[in-house]
Amino acid sequence: MQAVVLAAGQGTRIRPLSESMPKPMLPVADRPLVAHTVDAAIDAGADEIVLVVGYEGETVRDYFGTEYRGVPVTYAEQHEQAGTADAVETASDRLDGPFAVLNGDNLYDPAAIERLFDACPAVCAVEVPDPSNYGVLSTADGTVTDIVEKPADPPTNLANAGAYAFPERAAEWLDVPASERGEHEITDVLATVVGRFAVTPITLDRWLDVGRPWELLEANEWKLADLDRRIDGEVSDAAHLEGNVVVESGATIEPGVLVEGPALIRSGASVGPNAYVRGATLIDRNASVGNGVEVKNSVLSPGAAVNHLSYVGDSVLGRDVNFGAGTTVANLRHDDGDVRFTVKGDRVSTDRRKFGVVAGDGVKTGINTSLTPGLKLSTGATTHPGEVVDRDR
């Protein structure tokens, strides 16, 4: 089966992390977010991957090339983000037979994708407490009978999880009218398929839609926990690595370091001396964590540096961020409330008691900067020495 993977989005809700990198290429454990989906499709037997790219599409093309894990990869360019059905339609000239459609920014359990392919026509669904923000599926006798987008009064708790195995004829039904929000939606294609075929719902135990920065942390929590312990880098005898820790070849762990897994220290990265890394933490290529630094449940993108006497908790640091000595991140509110974060101008709850900061690429903090919970620092932002920063900048 061909697998069409949607990766053309602008990722506006995850800014500033998507300012120079498309969201599907943001790091999740040892590979980009979208590679987890592509790998799941290949493991499930996909014989061709068709990637729909658009925003910063070159980065996606550079990563996958024309063949990935022995499977041919082709690309369709979506020039305007006109909706998920429109995205698949840009790839329709190369569709030949039944095809799958997967969101490039969703994490699936790989076994579920295999079940999806085997059950074609089929759609993945996940039970959620309040599905009113999703497409909601109704089912009877083991097949899907209806799908409604974001209903005020959901008929079931089964949310559409954005993974479909379509019969060949669905390629003829991709040209759907724009929805109320002005997009050509794949759920309208699914509605047509549901009217003509018996579509099997595949219920997922676990699923994650990565739309906002803290969901990137959650994606890393999931996939870092799945890695098997492997120590290939240079680790001092005076360092302790506990639990599920991966140190890639070319990474260095200095004396006095304690790493409590799950954690991944990638090639070219260095940790220590005397540093403490804990929780689900990714220290990506060429990032560095120096003397007297504690990093907890965070993502340090390639080239990020926190080199002296600092604390970073529940945070995402973009590429080449530099935190000056003594920079401290607060990740907990005194009233114990959920940390809030600004998404497209609105202050929204992260539903997390602990969340630190999101620093765009190239952010530099002055020494002894204090950063408050839920803070967003845009690409290239700077702070003065000794500043308490409690407003996004």
- Positions in the binding site for ligand TTP (CB under 6 A): 6-14, 23, 52, 78, 81-84, 86-87, 103-105, 183, 211
Q: Which is nearer to ligand TTP, 13 or 115 (CB)?
A: 13
> Per residue in 330-339, is it b (16+ CB within 10 Å) or e — as a string?
bbbbeeeebb
Q: How far apart are CB 295 and ligand TTP at their closest, in Å?
A: 27
Catalytic residue numbers, as ranges: 308
Prior bond of 213 cis (ω within 30°): no
Q: How far apart are CB 265 and ligand TTP at their closest, in Å?
A: 29
Q: Which is nearer to ligand TTP, 107 or 112 (CB)?
A: 107
Q: Which is nearer to ligand TTP, 75 or 355 (CB)?
A: 75
Hey, what amino acid is at 388? V
Q: Please tell me the distance from the alpha carbon of residue 14 to that of residue 27, in angstroms, as a whole number.
A: 13
Asked if residues 166 and 98 have their Cβ atoms less than 8 Å apart, the reply is: yes
Q: Which is nearer to ligand TTP, 105 or 248 (CB)?
A: 105
Q: Distance of CA 361 to CAs 138, 248, 306, Å?
A: 43, 23, 14
Q: How far apart are CB 244 and ligand TTP at their closest, in Å?
A: 28
Q: How far apart are CB 228 and ligand TTP at their closest, in Å?
A: 28
Q: Which is nearer to ligand TTP, 61 or 333 (CB)?
A: 61
Q: How far apart are CB 346 and ligand TTP at their closest, in Å?
A: 13
Residues 6+ away with beta carbon under 8 Å from 107: 28, 33, 36, 37, 207, 208, 210, 219, 222, 223
Q: How far apart are CB 191 and ligand TTP at their closest, in Å?
A: 17
Residue whose CB is nearest to ligand TTP in the complex, by number: 9
Q: Please tell me the distance from the alpha carbon of residue 271 to that of residue 269, in angstroms, as a whole number.
A: 7
Q: Which is nearer to ligand TTP, 187 or 244 (CB)?
A: 187
